[in-house]
Amino acid sequence: MSLRASDEAHDDALQAYTQATSALAPTELQKPMTISSSLGLNPNMPHKPFVAFQPQYPTPRAVGNVVDDMFDGYDADPVPLGAFFKKKKGGDGKKGGGIMGGLKAAKNKADAAVRKAASGTKAAIKGATAFISGLSHFDYKLYTEPISAILAVAKKANGTDLSEKNNYKAFTGDSSYKAVAKLGELQEGKMKRTMSQKKNVKGRESKTISQQIMGRNAACLGFAKVEASQTSDEIFGDTIFDPEAPAVVGAPTLVKLGKFDTNDRSGMMPITGLVVEAVDVDSLPGADSGKIAVEMEAVEAVKIGASKITLSKDEVEFDYSLCVHGLYVDDDNKLHTGPKILVPNKAMDDVSSYGIVTEKGVGRALAHAIENEKIDLLLLWASFKLVLGAKGLTKARLTPEQQEAAKELFGGLDDMQMKNSFKEMYGDECYGAMNAVTM
């Protein structure tokens, strides 16, 4: 008996399959199984075009860091981190290279910078303080007796040599005062200075010859109308510069300029020193009657309108507690003072709000400086920069007497200090100023 199905059985099975498949709907036969259908997605949905990757933030740029800024005044050369891993030319002949060699070189340079700072004199301490407080363009001294005051002069490189790089340019660097800065350039363009030369002839007595040339003397902080001041003689008279016995580096000395140092304005004298002190309200015009006129003139160059009010002496003291005035040294080594520039307590960083003592009371310092009357723009700008820098002294390490003087001038001290400091490691006073910086 054969196991193969008969032809009749095969035909019956084929006919049954054909009938079963023909009974299905055509749509059911046309549904292929795809990845989209498995995920529940419509295979006929529109496809989005390819979009290239766009970074959300700009490409990072290398910037400075607080450590480099802190040690900017020292002579240690930086050691780039890339040098640690960079293979030196010449193969592996030298030992001690690589990471450990780079770290050792960095440590040696850091140690050299610290040793150099630790071995500095008091002038080095003052230099660190100046870096922190923003007084790097000045040599200065904080007076505690007989008054609380700050005397500042143009910085001298080694106690004697002046450099134009330490000179301010009136109102430069502030975009809101571009028109005023141009006026400052015009005023400075008219300044003249003395050029001197020592002439030695054999058989004759040596002599110094002088002539007037265009340009500003590096010791000049501006020009102002001045009047003799016995009080200034008593307090600051011993700081007049003596070429035969120059002061130590960093100590302020008042330079005496000659008859050729002018700005082509009658009665305006070259100022070589600035004094920051407390305002004496009783000396202001109108103080006797108790009514002080504060008339702020308009300044078209910066679109500032005029205002006029009358204040009592107490109200003036609430508005102005500090003033700045210039010092001029005459041919007899006597000191003369310029007009007092009043610093607004609530707008110390707004030079347009600074006042100036006039015959009638208080006016706007900027308006008088633009007119080159009483003061010029350079003197106002130098005074403004000095005040902003001197304010930083409250963050420096000071003696108790200096703290009291700074408190009297600026109203308080910032006693925040770093807990981990170089002083704890070395016990050297020269790190006092650096310890007062909050990073």
Domain ranges for the chain, please list them: 122-433
pLDDT of 20 above 70 = no
Please report the pLDDT score of residue 73 as a whole number: 54
What gap in Å lies between CA 223 and CA 376, rounded to an integer? Answer: 6
Per-residue model confidence as pLDDT tens digits over 396-431: 777 888 888 887 888 743 433 333 334 433 344 444
pLDDT at residue 128 greater than cutoff 60 = no
Assign 254 a pLDDT band (cuts: 50, 70, 90): very high
Average pLDDT, stretch 16-33?
58
Strand-pair partners of 195: 211
Q: Using an 8 Å Cβ cutoff, are 396 and 433 in contact? A: yes
For the segment 260-274, what is each residue's pLDDT rounded down to a tens digit?
999 989 999 999 999
CA-CA distance, 320 to 340, in Å (whole number)? 12
For residue 252, say if its preceding peptide bond is cis, omega within 30 degrees of 0: no
* pLDDT (0 to 100) of residue 267: 92
* Alpha-carbon radius of gyration of the chain: 39
Which pTM does this prediction carry? 0.64
Q: What is the pLDDT of residue 116?
A: 55
